Structure 1
Amino acid sequence: MENKENLVDVQLIRDMLYDDDGYVKEFSNASIQSFGEFKQHFKESLLAREMDELRRAGHKIKPVAMMLKLDPVIEMYDTSKTYLEENRSTEELADLADDMETYCDTVIAEFQELV
């Protein structure tokens, strides 16, 4: 059976939070909320072609994604801005929104294992 590596580096979080279970739970709960809000705002803003709202959503999640080394979040966010600038098709925007939602759902599920 294949052992799939988690997206969330639990050891990185534990090291950052002094290996304190209470802090890890608090951080995990905050991350669940942040990624949940982000995926919703990302999808809504992208499909509505609202660049300003998309940037607001991105600026809130980008520091956390960088800290946790969740590069695909940043890459998909940057791609979304390019797609809007290039006036890509609604189908392409929807596909990207779905990819982001799937990724964020996985991140959220992994954080839920820590609470």
Structure 2
Amino acid sequence: MTKRNTLIDFSSLSEMLYGEEKYISEFSEAAVDSFTEFNNNYKKFLLIRDETSFRKAGHKIKPVAQMLGLDQIVEEYEHAKTLLWDEKPDEDLEKSVSKIDSICTKVITELELRIK
């Protein structure tokens, strides 16, 4: 197994989309919107402890994250749910928000570079 410098597994994406650059670009553009929305909703709903809306945001991004090999997003989302269930302090929620923001920012940058 080789270590890659990117978070996204573009080889799997290319394989799923038959290597068609047009489809990869279209998917990447849609994914930028999806990860931007997820990042915003993750912060908004986690910090106000709105579990229902938070779960909707997570369920919406989970399939896309899994297709792109972004296990760290799924893992942090699952961790954040336990933070809510265990009624952890705001500081713990803010750490999770910061982690997701950092990951999503890198993912969006990688997707935008692929679109160009």
TM-score by length of structure 2 reads: 0.93
The residue number in structure 2 matching 1:76 is 76
**Alignment partners' CA distance in 1, 2:25 and 2:4:** 23
Instruction: Compute the displacement of 1:113 (Å).
Output: 0.6
**Alignment partners' CA distance in 2, 1:66 and 1:20:** 20
Divergent runs of 4+, >2 A: none
Gaps of 5+ in 1: none
Instruction: Compute the displacement of 1:59 (Å).
Output: 0.6
**Alignment partners' CA distance in 1, 2:81 and 2:10:** 30
Does residue 1:94 correspond to 2:97, yes or no? no
Instruction: Compute the displacement of 1:13 (Å).
Output: 1.2
Match of 2:87, SS? coil
Contact 2:13 2:67 in 1 (8 A): no
Instruction: Compute the displacement of 1:93 (Å).
Output: 0.4
Per-residue deviation, residues 31-53 of structure 1 (Å, max 9, x unmatched): 10000000100010000000001
Alignment of 1:8-87 (within 5 A): 8-87=8-87
**Alignment partners' CA distance in 1, 2:27 and 2:67:** 13
Greater shift in the superposed pair: 89-98 or 4-13:
4-13
Contact 2:10 2:68 in 1 (8 A): no
Contact 2:65 2:73 in 1 (8 A): yes
Instruction: Compute the displacement of 1:56 (Å).
Output: 0.4
Partner amino acid, structure 1, of 2:104: C
Contact 2:12 2:67 in 1 (8 A): no
Instruction: Compute the displacement of 1:4 (Å).
Output: 5.9
Report how many aligned residue pairs link the two structures.
113
Give the share of equivalent positions with the same residue, in percent. Answer: 38
Instruction: Compute the displacement of 1:67 (Å).
Output: 1.6
**Alignment partners' CA distance in 2, 1:62 and 1:15:** 19
**Alignment partners' CA distance in 2, 1:24 and 1:111:** 10
